[in-house]
Amino acid sequence: MRKERIYQSRRHLLITLLILVVPFIFLLVFSRFINEITLGELLKDVGISFLRLSIAYFIAVSLGWLLAVSFYHGRRAIIALPLFDVLQSLPTFAALPLATYLWGPSGVTVILFLVVTIIWPIFFSIISSLKLIRRDWEEVVKMTKLRGLTYLKNFLWPVTFPALVTGSIVGLGEGWEALVATEIIVKVKTGLGQFFGLFVQNTTITALGILGFLIFIFSINKVIWLPLLEWSHRKMEE
The pLDDT tens digits of the residues spanning 208-228 come to 888 888 888 888 888 788 878
What's the CA gap between 5 and 197, in Å, rounded? 42
> Does residue 141 form part of some domain?
yes
d(CA 141, CA 189): 52
Instruction: Please indicate, yes or no, if residue 54 is contained in any of the structural domains.
Output: yes
- List the domain range (segments joined by +) for residue 159: 40-237
Nearest to 114 by CA among 47, 178, 183: 178
CB distance 27 to 46 below 8 Å: yes
Given a cut of 90, is residue 207 above it in pLDDT? no
% the chain with pLDDT above 70: 82
Amino acid occupying residue 67: L
Q: CA-CA distance, 21 to 10, in Å (whole number)?
A: 17
Q: Indicate whether 35 belongs to any domain.
A: no
pTM of the model: 0.81
Residue 33 placed within a domain: no
User: Among candidates 130, 94, 107, which has minimal Cα distance to 45?
Assistant: 107
* Torsion angle, alpha carbons of 55, 56, 61, 64, to 10: 140
Question: Is pLDDT at 117 greater than 50 in this prediction?
Answer: yes
Among 207, 147, 174, residue whose Cα is nearest residue 93: 174
Is residue 31 in a domain? Answer: no
Does 1 map to a domain? no
CATH label of the domain that carries residue 63: 1.10.3720.10
pLDDT at 111 over 80: yes
Q: Which of 138 and 126 is assigned the larger pLDDT?
A: 126
Indicate if the pLDDT at residue 232 is higher than 70. yes
Q: In degrees rounded to 5, what are phi and psi of residue 33?
A: -90, -20
Residue 2, in any domain of the structure = no
How far is residue 7's CA from residue 227's CA, in Å, rounded to a whole number? 7
Question: What is the tally of structural domains in the chain?
Answer: 1
Domain assignment present for 186? yes
Sign of CA dihedral 60, 61, 63, 64: positive
